[in-house]
Every structure is written in C-alpha cells, then in structure tokens.
Chains A and B, each alone.
Chain A
Amino acid sequence: MTNRAQTISKSAAAIDKARAEGRAALIGYLPAGYPSVEQTIAAGIALAENGADLIEIGIPYSDPVMDGQVIQAATTEALANGFAVRQVFDVVAGITSKTDAAVLVMTYWNPVVRMGVDEFSRRLSEAGGAGLITPDLIPDEAAEWMEASDKYGLDRVFLVAPSSTTERMQRTVDASRGFVYAVSIMGVTGARTSVSTAAKDVVAAAHAAGAERVCVGLGVSNAGQVREIAAYAEGVIVGTALVAAIRDGGVDAVAALTKDLSTGLSRDTGLTEEEA
C-alpha cells in the first residue's frame, strides 16, 4: 500500500474514519438484485444509515465456489429473476448517491473478464464505487486488474487465508489497496456459532506483512462476534446474516440487524458513541 494509493482509497478513508472514532469499521454484504435491484439499493442505504461504514455488493454468478447455501440461494434467485451484471452499477450509484458509505463490489472474476476489465473498472468508477473484492482472483493473475485499478483509482481487496504462507501473505498485502480481506476460517461463507481462532492469527500475519487495514469475514453473524473481532481487526464483514435478514424481513430487518451488529464495534465499551 503506497502513500499515493492511500490518499485516493475510499475504503481506507471509511475505515480510518471509524478508527478515529475509536472503533472498528462495519462492512455489510448484499447480493445485487436480491430480491430486486430496488430492494438492494434500499437495503444498502439502510445499512449505511444504521452503522455500516462500507458496503459490499455481490454480483450473482452461476458458479459461486466460495459461497455457502444462503448466499447461493439468494444469488441463484437473482439470476433466475433476470439480473444482468451491468445492473450492479445501478445499485452502486443508487447507494453512493444517497450515503457516504464506501461501496465495493464483490465479484467472481469471469463476469469482469467478459465485460472487459478496463470497461468494468471505468463503469464502476463512474458509478462512485470504491473498488473490488475478488474471491477467486489472486495477485498472481491480476496484472490487468492492477493496471485498471490504478487507472481508475479503485481499491483492490484481495483475500488472505489461514493457509496463506508468509510469502503469499506478503505478496497479497503488497498488491492490495484499501484493506486486506482476512478469511476467518478454511471454508465458504455462512453463519457460524463461533469465529475461528485462526482469524486472529491471520490478522496478525497480515499486520506483520505491513497491512494497515485488515477486515475479517466469513462466519460473522452477531454483535458478540463483531465485538470479538473488533478487538484486533480494523473492520468486520457480515454477509450471510444480512442476506438471511433481507430474505426473511426485508429492508427493515437489514436495518435492525445492522444497528445491532454495530453495537459490537467499539473497542472499549462494546457500544458505539451514539448508543453509549
């Protein structure tokens, strides 16, 4: 992460703002087009208004190998309803025009390849997007994306895992911009009753490799887990629990869950300043 890069990173700015408030950042995930594009935008705005600092919008994809059943079911439904990849830019623009949250897109790589990496990046930038989280793209294969993300000032959020070697950790941290996504567990997305102790080690390794902002995802679903992670990471990522919330209770349920999750962010009291 170069100094120049940090000055243009929307994700880093959002995380740093949370840090200045003495807390970790909350990152919420929603799949685009589930149950509809309008609902995704409304839910994204609700996320931002109830305590999320960054929002991660997933592109539904036919072969989501890193996703568990809840997210698979949601994205499969979105695709069955006719979701088109270009609509992700409408979702991003719809949220960024109404909130200050940094909005990233989480996508498997082939839809980006198909549109063209430069074209995708240009449109994401125009929609006000902060960058991309890429679960099946490693820095080794990312030459085209490195170039496009530099050109359009987008964040490159690569993943690191409990299995990452020291060498790979260094390489991935060096290639990332905005933050590094620490996978908490060897597995796919989905709520788990406890957060693996491996998460803390992954974050420590990423910090040791020079990462200034490390956010933890996979398996995080409640305020208690958020509090646990907020003690050692710069941000906490919640996905499946929010998808289940919008599935079962719509935008209102997303707002309520976000509010609850955000109570875990403070490193001191477990409450945000507003609620304290």
Chain B
Amino acid sequence: MADAPSANADNNAAEAFLQGGSLKHAPGPYFGSYGGRWMPESLIAALDELEETFDKAKEDPEFRAQIADLNKNYSGRPSLLTEAKRFSQHAGGVRIFLKREDLNHTGSHKINNVLGQALLAKRMGKTRVIAETGAGQHGVASATAAALMGLECVVYMGAEDCRRQALNVARMELLGATVIPVTSGSQTLKDAINDALRDWVANVDNTHYLLGTAAGAHPFPAMVRYFHEVIGEEARAQILEQEGRLPDAVCACIGGGSNAIGIFHGFLDDPSVKIYGFEAGGDGVETGRHAATITLGKPGVLHGARSYLMQDDDGQTIESHSISAGLDYPGVGPEHSYLADIGRVSYEPITDSEAMEAFRLLCRTEGIIPAIESAHALAGAIKVGQRLADEDAAAAAEKIVIVNLSGRGDKDVATAAEWFDLLDKDSAESEIGKEGEQL
C-alpha cells in the first residue's frame, strides 16, 4: 500500500493511540478519514432510521436478551476454541488455537450478523429483507434468518455465480427466498450489491437491506461489527480461561472484513496482542489478479463508504480475483482501512496456492475442512508462526496464535477436489469443479 504502514508495522502507533483512549466500540460514521455516507439522498432517511433503531436496541435489555438467546439456542454459541496441535507443528511450532465459527448454524460467522439485522428489521416494521451474495453463504444465512423470523427474502447474486453455485441457489429457495440473478456490470458480488441498492431505493418503505459485511454506509460498518463482536469476546475469555493469558497474535481473513473485525475487536485494546488480517492475493499481487484491497488499493468511495478500494486511474472499480468467492470483493470495510493506517493491524496478501496448501494441511492434521476463506487466515498464521520461529525457536513454542476459522469448507469441496486433481477426469464433479462450483 502506497501511503500506509508496511506489513510488519509495529504497534507504536496503536500504543500512542491507546494513550488517548480505546479503539473498541468505535461508533462511526467515521473511522479516521474512512467511513461516512457516500449514498444517494433517497436512502439517507432509511439509514437514519436504521441507525436510530440500532442505537436504541443496543441499550435495550430485551433486545440483548433476544440476541443472547438466539446465539445460544439457535446458532449454537459459544463456538469452541480448539487447539490445533498437529497443525501447529507446520507453523514454526507456535501454539495455534482455532475459533470455531465453522460450527455455527449455517456453517460460518455470517449467522451472527443476519440474526441481529433481521431482529432490527422486525423492530422497524419491515416485512421484507434483501441481501447480496457472492458464493451464497450470506444469501443462505439471510434466507435462514428470514425464514426463522417470517420475513420475505430476496437475494441478489451474480448470474455467473448462480450458475456455478446452483446448489446454494437451491438452498436459498428451499429456505423460502427468491434469488435474482444479476446481469448488470461485471455480474459479480459488487454488481449484486449495486442491484440490491437499486431495489432498496425503490422499496425502502417495507424493505431492510441486510448487508453481509462490515462495509457500506453508516451505520452498517459499526453495526455489523457489533453483531460479530461476540467472536472476539468469546475468544478472549476462552483463551484466558484455557491458558491463563492473552494470545500473542490473532489472525483472520479479510474480504469485506466482518469476521475479522468481529474477532479483532476483542483484542484491539490489548497492545501485547499483534493482529493480522489476510487478504486474498489471488494469483499473486504482482499479477493484478487478486483482491488485496488494503495492500494495493487506494482510498476511494464505493457502496457508501470511503475506504481502500481497488480502482484504476479513473476511479473505476477494478474487478477482483480470488479462488475464494467470499473474499472476492474490490472494497473493504472502513474500520480496517483505519486500523491499517494507524498500524494497529497488519494486512498481508495470501495467494490462492498458499491458502489451498493450508486448506489441505488443516484437513489432514486436524480433521477439519475449513472454508477456503478461512484457509487464508490459516496460511497467514503459518507465516506468522514461522517468523516467530526464525526469531527464536525456543520462544516460539510458547507463543499462542488464535485463528478465526470463519467457516466450514463443505461448500468448497468441488473447488478443492479440482485444485488437488482428485477427480476422475470424466466425472460430473470434475466438470463442475472446473467452473469453480462450491457444493
């Protein structure tokens, strides 16, 4: 990144910031110079209504009790914190702990946010929710929450993704949602967001836009983070209980950045904890085919917020590339841009190859198939562990690294099977895998 700290920036800037106060619970609309509301006037009233509803709900014991009940009795929280002892041997011998968001209902962290927003939609008297989705995870989670709460649900999904993710489309439809293929622009996740925004402008009276990541216009970044803060709170309490101390590092993958901001938040005010966000490096950042927004992007405005953005010299959004559909987005949440600039969090790219190696390693050493998104965080943790071992091998064995395992990899089996050439050339699955299908 041109004018931001290097990947190994130390925490001096963050510590200096901490002299003046906490990095936690940043309310928005701005995170440093990022965030805000770069939105059509038509939607400002809806954003105001959402902000007001959210602010009231946060302070309402009944709302907090509803969230706690859903988290415990529907999603299956708290998610486990599992030590990955055999995997750790491949990461310089540091002790790696996995925050098991893969064990949540619907198989990823996404459920935390959709349940919270669906409750807010009900509070606002909205009868319909709309959502965007790339691979389908957020779409499935949104359809799930809508089914649970009796809301109409419409999901916008790139036409090509619909074809490749036919089973996820079927999943959403089984849950009662309507999936609308998006044929505008580049027909990818960003265009699905564009079409969802167009729908929202036209139907804002009865519709809530259930945005899937900690990006977009205020109050979305702070609100989505709020619903995911439970990840970091649990992880911090669990490591203190299990090991009696804080971790040395926390790692997460970053697309829009919702799972990452959720776990990071628990540790932002602990200066001894280094925090790492791993972006999708795709074919390699030098190839131009990647989604490493903070690493190589420049500040701009897209989808309602000022943040790092993959854009050309004219300010046109550049299409991102990643083997992981969940990280394949040319923007990033504004709070991450801020945390990068002040040096509190280090952001680094992980290539498709590095992620897939870590994917296989976790399968074979721990018996856990991770989402390819989460495999980026695992690959990053291996790098962090090896660096620590290079500095001092004996000391490394005492280090604790928490990785947010944001989702399970069942959906990625065909992609992985194709990547590792596990399929009979003539099999139907092989044909599907070539197209990037995620089952």
Contacts and interface: CB of A to CB of B under 8 A. Distances in A.
Contact of B44 (A65, A112, A138, A187): A138
A173 B46 CA distance: 20
Contacts of B198: 65-66, 68, 187-188
Interface string A161-187: 111110010001000000000010011
A36 interface: no
Contacts of B298: 114
Interface string B91-118: 0000000000000000000000000000
Contacts of A72: 184-185
Contacts of A135: 40
B39 A62 contact: no
B185 A76 contact: yes
Given A65-B198, A114-B311, A135-B40, A165 B45 contact: yes
Interface in B122-143: none
Nearest to B304: A136
A159 B201 CA distance: 14
Contacts of B184: 69, 72, 76
B194 A109 contact: no
Given A111-B316, A187-B202, A65 B194 contact: yes
Contacts, number: 114
B36 interface: yes
Contacts of B191: 63
Interface residues of B, number: 38
Nearest to A158: B41
Contacts of A110: 300-302, 309, 311, 315, 317
Interface in A23-81: 61-66, 68-69, 72, 76, 79
A188 B38 CA distance: 16
A188 B41 contact: no
B421 to A, nearest CB: 36
- The main secondary structure of chain A at its interface with chain B is loop
A68 B202 CA distance: 11
Contacts of A168: 41, 44-45
Interface in B224-239: none
Q: Considering residues B191, B201, B300, which has the most beta carbons from chain A within 10 angstroms of its beta carbon?
A: B201
A208 interface: no
A210 B299 CA distance: 36
Given A141-B37, A188-B202, A79 B44 contact: no
A85 B40 contact: no
Contact of A163 (B46, B314, B316): B46
A194 B44 CA distance: 25
Nearest to B202: A187
B432 interface: no
A63 B190 contact: yes
A130 interface: no
B337 to A, nearest CB: 14
Given A69-B184, A111-B316, A114-B314, A63 B42 contact: no
Nearest to A181: B41
B42 to A, nearest CB: 4
B303 interface: yes
Nearest to A137: B38
5 contacts: A63-B191, A160-B41, A163-B43, A165-B48, A168-B44
Interface of A: 61-66, 68-69, 72, 76, 79, 84-85, 109-115, 135-138, 140-141, 158-165, 168, 172, 183, 186-188
Interface of B: 36-46, 48, 184-186, 190-191, 194, 197-198, 201-205, 298-303, 309, 311, 313-317
